[in-house]
């Protein structure tokens, strides 16, 4: 059979146990680890996973549009981040530390922290600056194995600032 992508000879390949579907809860600690493994993709979907010889028997290299030799490499599923706020300015790591020590959000907000601090930082940057920082964050996510991101606005606290965040997301995603 023909395939769009054939990844062969992976030193190791991590996948879900056959026939289980997505892993949930404690089962996340029980992935299947294959050695000398391959993956075949057809029409953008995974069509076969297994030992290289078995996958190549169904999807020979001669019928593959693209072949990747993964010898010495690990093939693993990509991470999906389903809730992230990529367009922001400034950081609030001191608040994280305060919360970890038991301080309330109300106390942090009284000192000028919280979402109002995030909104003030956001107002202080231009849309192009924000788009550049979003693109850098996306690049780091991709480099660390994240393949899918749902990015949210939410720090603007005004229609104008929310639009700025969404436009920065659009600009950054077009360049990533």
71 and 117: one domain?
no
Q: Per-residue confidence at 23, pLDDT binned at 50, 70, 90? A: confident
86 and 170 in a common domain: yes
What's the CATH number where 21 sits? 2.30.40.10
Q: Does one domain contain both 89 and 162?
A: yes
Using a cut of 0.75, tell me whether the model's pTM lies above it: no
Alpha-carbon gap, residue 90 to 145, rounded angstroms: 25
The phi, psi pair for 69, rounded to 5°, reads -85, 110
Angle between helices 127-143 and 159-175 (to 10 degrees): 50
What's residue 19's pLDDT? 74
Q: How many CB atoms lie within 10 A of CB 148?
A: 10
Cα angle 33-38-40, degrees, rounded to a multiple of 5:
125
Per the structure, how many domains does the chain have? 2
Q: Which residue has the higher pLDDT, 43 or 94?
A: 43
Q: Which residue has the tokens 């109002």?
A: 116
CB 44 within 8 A of CB 111: no
Q: What is the residue range of 70's domain?
A: 3-77
Q: Give SS3 for 128.
A: helix
Q: What is the pLDDT of residues 74-103, one digit of tens each?
A: 999 999 999 999 999 999 988 999 999 999
């Amino acid at each position: 059979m023909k395939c769009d992508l054939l990844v062969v000879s992976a030193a190791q390949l991590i996948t879900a146990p056959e026939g289980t579907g997505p892993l949930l809860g404690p089962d996340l600690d029980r992935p299947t680890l294959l050695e000398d493994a391959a993956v075949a993709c057809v029409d953008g979907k995974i069509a076969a996973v297994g030992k290289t010889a078995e996958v190549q028997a169904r999807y020979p290299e001669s019928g593959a549009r693209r072949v990747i030799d993964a010898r010495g490499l690990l093939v693993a599923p990509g991470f999906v981040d389903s809730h992230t706020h990529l367009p922001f300015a400034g950081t609030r790591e001191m608040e994280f530390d305060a919360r970890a020590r038991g301080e309330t959000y109300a106390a942090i907000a009284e000192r000028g922290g919280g979402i109002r601090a995030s909104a003030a930082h956001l107002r202080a940057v231009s849309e192009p600056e924000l788009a550049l920082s979003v693109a850098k964050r996306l690049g780091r996510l991709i480099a660390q194995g994240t393949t899918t991101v749902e990015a949210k606005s939410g720090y603007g606290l005004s229609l104008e600032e929310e639009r700025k965040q969404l436009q920065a997301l659009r600009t950054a995603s077009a360049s990533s």
